Amino acid sequence: MTRKSAMHRRDFIVSSTAAAAVMGLGGRIVFAESKAAPDLMAKGFFSFKVGDVEVITISDGQWLKPHDPGFIKNASVDETKAALAAAGLSTDVVTIPFTITVIRTGGKTIMFDAGTGAQLAPTAGKLAANMAAAGVDAKKIDKILVTHFHPDHIFGLMQKDTNEQVFPDAEIIVPEAEYAYWTDPATLAALPENRKGLAKRIQSTMPTWKNLARIKGGAEVAPGIVAVAAHGHTPGHTTYVVGSGKDQLHVMADISNIPALFVKNPGWHAAFDSDPQAAEASRRRTFDRVIADKAVITGYHYGMPGAGRIEKDGNGYAFIPLA
């Protein structure tokens, strides 16, 4: 970056390769989307290792969301567009990617969440094809660790028209608090009519699945993998920490939506958060933990490569992608 361009803008926009050099400077830093993102989106996956654990982030496409004044409860559309522009992203729409994490460890293949099942946005539903491209055999998934029950995370577990299981041979592990909320008849009764569909679908499927197990925060769900309660986005939203020696991977799920908006501005409250104050508290607590632990993270809505690190950045945070 030239001196002239540095003076032209208050914030620096830097690539991940320049991040280490710039983080020592004073002032706020805005991280643009990875320069590798377009190629990785076209490829459909990104592979790396954390200790001895093989990690693959796999794209399930994206949602080109029109701007909506209700999307961020405490920020305007103009503020949203300004944040996108500062990160070097298009301001025409809010582009929300869907990125699934798969790991291979201890001879097992474990997937976190199951994607949209091609049942939501027309630009989503790429998981099956991209899993194949990444060399991940859907029939050989041993466990699926679910973070929460929003449609973009669980519809991939169910066939569109029949609700039959897509992964009948995998053990499906779900957070107890999330399961309890969505299967409670009182939840269905309390929801407005236009929001009852998700609860009805969950209640008609998951209680019948013999391969489903419920866990609480703090449980070791597989050797070296611990569930962490991070409620707020939903009543039972859960993240997972994967340990390999001194190295850690933190699968953050929806601790935040896209980094340009909600990592830089951790106090912004997305419409998708069921308890915005609790979601913000979980977000800040998780970010501070992964910084302290020097952990690699994956974020469901972070776009390709879908993995990186979180750093403090003024009053907010910055996401530094791995590629």
- Region 127-152 average pLDDT: 98
pLDDT at 10 over 50: no
Cis peptide before 185 (omega within 30 of 0): no
* Total domain count, the chain: 1
Q: Is residue 200 part of a domain?
A: yes
Could you tell me the residue range of the domain that residue 76 belongs to?
Answer: 37-321
pLDDT at 195 over 70: yes
pTM, 2 dp: 0.90
Reported as a single tens digit per residue, the pLDDT across 166-180 is 999 999 999 999 999
pLDDT at site 13: 32
Please give the Cα distance from 265 to 246 (Å, whole number): 30
Q: Is residue 25 part of a domain?
A: no
Sorted by sequence, the CB contacts under 8 Å of residue 32 that are 6+ apart come out as: 13, 14, 15, 87, 88, 89
SS3 37: helix
What's 183's domain CATH number? 3.60.15.10
pLDDT at site 5: 34
Residue 107 DSSP one-character state: T
- Region 255-280 average pLDDT: 97
Reported as a single tens digit per residue, the pLDDT across 197-223 is 999 999 999 999 999 999 999 999 999
How high is the mean pLDDT of the chain? 91
pLDDT at site 315: 87
Q: Is residue 27 part of a domain?
A: no
Q: Which of 5-9, 43-47, 61-65, 141-145 has the lowest mean pLDDT?
A: 5-9
Q: Is residue 219 part of a domain?
A: yes
Instruction: Give percent above pLDDT 70 in the chain.
Output: 90
Angle at 238 between CA 205 and CA 305, to 5 degrees: 100
pLDDT at 192 over 60: yes
Sign of dihedral through CA atoms 218, 219, 225, 230? negative
Q: Which of 32-36, 112-116, 226-230, 263-267 has the lowest mean pLDDT?
A: 32-36
Q: Is residue 31 part of a domain?
A: no
Q: Is residue 12 part of a domain?
A: no
pLDDT at 21 over 70: no
Please give the Cα distance from 154 to 27 (Å, whole number): 40
Q: Is residue 198 part of a domain?
A: yes
Q: Which of 17-21, 52-56, 162-166, 255-259 has the lowest mean pLDDT?
A: 17-21
Residue 34 DSSP one-character state: P
Q: Is residue 79 part of a domain?
A: yes
Of 2 and 74, more confident: 74
pLDDT at site 33: 64
